Amino acid sequence: MDRRAVMAALRARVARLERTGLAAREEPPAIPLCPEMDRALPGGGLPRAALHEILSDGAGAAVGFAALLMARSGGTVFWIARDPDPWPPGLARFGLPPSRLIVAQPGNGTDALWATEEALRCPAVSAVLLMSERPDATAMRRLQLAAETGGGIGLLLRESDEDEGPALATTRWRVTGRAGGAMHDLGDPQWTLELLRCRAGRPQTWHVTWRAGMEALMMDDEMREEDAPRRGHPSRRAL
């Protein structure tokens, strides 16, 4: 792998995107999720310039949550995986168009960590997703420093297992998909989001639904209140 050639090509592409204004805009210090979750997170959302772990149950729920975070980061994003399989229509459903996505397929874990660190250091990159790797403590510190330098978010997505390892990232999440119910459109992704660890915060769990048409992440209680008038029942909101 010719790292210099790869980085030269990637930097040239990012520079072109930056000139079009996709990555060259000032962003708030935290990425908003929804009001209830933002109030529980220090800084009012998911902190930028930091690493965040996402543990998956093996289904696509965690990828959807990661896509939502990358979309709301506001700029160019990197998808780094040895076996990448991003599905553009699926990512677009969470607000992430293909024009903002750069996919890198490293040949081994060492190259994957190197590409992630280099991408995080670039101020024109707003988010970097590293799939299925388990950085050790030294690598985690390097990635955190790179995120602080570039100002974007680093998302480390891997399978959930019994050995979750040391909690070195700013937050650690477990994302589980849930089956649709009568109150929801079956096409709306429903997740259980467990915040397992958060610096200066405390663990919590939320049951949410992503409304693609509204581009909104909504609490299940909020969904029930909104749907109640359509079912002929009074809503607490209307009282």
Count CA atoms closer than 13 A to 106's CA, side-chain side.
Answer: 21
Rounded to 5°, angle at Cα 10 from 9 and 12: 65
The domain locations on the chain are 3-238
Report the C-alpha gap between 72 and 66 in whole angstroms: 10
> Do residues 147 and 153 touch, judged by C-beta distance below 8 A?
yes
Residue in the structure block whose two tokens are 């699926």: 90
Q: How much is the pLDDT for 237?
A: 29
| Distance, CA of 66 to CA of 51 (rounded, Å) | 12
Per the CB < 8 A criterion, the answer to whether 155 and 81 are in contact is no
CATH class of the domain whose range is 3-238: alpha beta
At 187, the amino acid letter reads G
Exposure of 65 by Cβ count < 10 A (0-12 exposed, 13-18 middle, 19+ buried)?
Answer: buried
* Diameter over CA atoms, the chain: 65
Query: What pLDDT, on a 0 to 100 scale, did the predictor assign at position 21?
Result: 43
Neighbours of 37 (CB within 10 A): 19
Neighbour count for residue 154 (Cβ, 10 Å): 29
Q: What is the pLDDT along the chain (239 residues), one digit of tens a residue?
A: 566 655 656 666 655 555 444 444 456 689 999 999 999 998 899 999 999 999 998 778 999 999 999 999 999 999 999 886 788 888 999 999 999 999 999 999 999 999 999 999 999 999 999 999 999 999 999 999 999 999 999 999 998 875 666 678 999 999 999 875 434 445 789 999 999 999 888 899 999 999 988 889 999 875 444 444 443 433 322 22
Residues 6+ apart with CB under 8 A from 111: 1, 3
pLDDT score, position 6: 59
Distance of alpha carbon 139 from alpha carbon 41, whole angstroms:
26
Checking 37-42 for CB contacts under 8 A at 24+ apart, the result is 37/193, 37/206, 37/208, 37/217, 40/195, 40/201, 40/204, 41/171, 41/195, 41/198, 41/201, 42/198, 42/199, 42/200, 42/201
